[in-house]
Amino acid sequence: MKNQVIEVNGVAVTITQRQGDDYISLTDLANAKEGDSRAADIIKNWIRNRGTLEFIGTWEQLNNPDFKVVEFDHFKMQAGLPTFVLSAGQWVEKTAAIGIYVKAGRYGGTYAHKDIALEFCSAINPVFKLYLIKEFQRLKEEERKLLGWSLQRTLAKINYRIHTDAIRDHLIPAELPPDKTSVVYATEADLLNTALFGMTAKEWREANPEQKGNLRDYATIEQLVVLSNLESINAMLIHQGLSAQTRIVQLNRMAITQMTSLLSASDVRKKLENNNR
């Protein structure tokens, strides 16, 4: 996953992923309190604190089977001494920690798992932490919505394979040249497009010359759900030997029924969500 940057109370904060978990730039969070030249010192002063060591050490024991507890205990014994200095890089190197890591190059700096990053924020700027939580939750909500759309698009692609197999087995003559089979597939795809969207792919492109991709790329989640269902139903109707004229009528009726149900359910869900706010 690429780095993402969110704006938190006027400060750009970088978020990346490591092994499926969100990591937040401590360097960016430190910059919310001080300038760039002070960020590294702020992180060092925070990590050498006994309370911090207890927190990040416990986090590692809960999440990292390779964590070196002996080295951790050694650091705890030194915590509080005036001569004790510890950087994020030293912590990772000595203990094999995974909750914090140092990254070089573009978007470089010190990153920490979101649990640790929020603890860091609590220590250096509690008010900023509230803004961070709000923006982070907004980001996760946007990702959730996008994931839902992506999953529906993937489901549509899976059913598309079932659909094209049915076309190949029942609608394409055995001796039809390969360069001609695409015409049959495109025709069946447009049969579904017409049943659901009321237009063919060509008609959509002519009506939307400025848009990239095709009309299915601009479909709502509800439309993609129905499209996925229609592909399965059309494959079944093809197996039954029904003509395209008969199938498009049935598919259009099914599309109307399913879209009505899904949109009604969406309206109810939105009303419930608004009432619970």
Share of the chain above pLDDT 70, in %: 77
Under DSSP, is residue 65 helix (H, G, I), strand (E, B) or coil?
coil
Mean pLDDT of 243-255: 87
Give the pLDDT confidence score for residue 103 in this predicted structure: 85
Give the pLDDT confidence score for residue 173 in this predicted structure: 45
pTM greater than the 0.85 cutoff: no
65 CB-near residues (< 8 Å, 6+ apart): none
Structure token digits, residue 215: 């009309």
Structure token digits, residue 255: 């599309």
Structure token digits, residue 185: 């597939």
Name the region of 176 (left: φ>0; alpha: ψ -120 to 50; beta: rest): beta
Which pLDDT band, with edges at 50, 70 and 90, does 177 fall under? low
pLDDT tens-digit map of 205-222: 999 988 888 888 888 877
Give the pLDDT confidence score for residue 111 in this predicted structure: 94
**Statement: residue 164 has pLDDT above 50:** yes
Under DSSP, is residue 148 helix (H, G, I), strand (E, B) or coil?
helix
183 or 22, higher pLDDT? 22
pLDDT tens-digit map of 192-207: 888 888 888 888 999 9
Closest C-alpha among 113, 149, 92, 124 to residue 19 = 113
140 or 210, higher pLDDT? 210
Give the pLDDT confidence score for residue 178 in this predicted structure: 59
DSSP per-residue codes, 78-113: HTT-TT----HHHHHHHH--SSEEEE-STT-EEEEE
Closest C-alpha among 229, 226, 213 to residue 265 = 226
Q: Dmax over Cα atoms in the chain, in whole Å?
A: 86
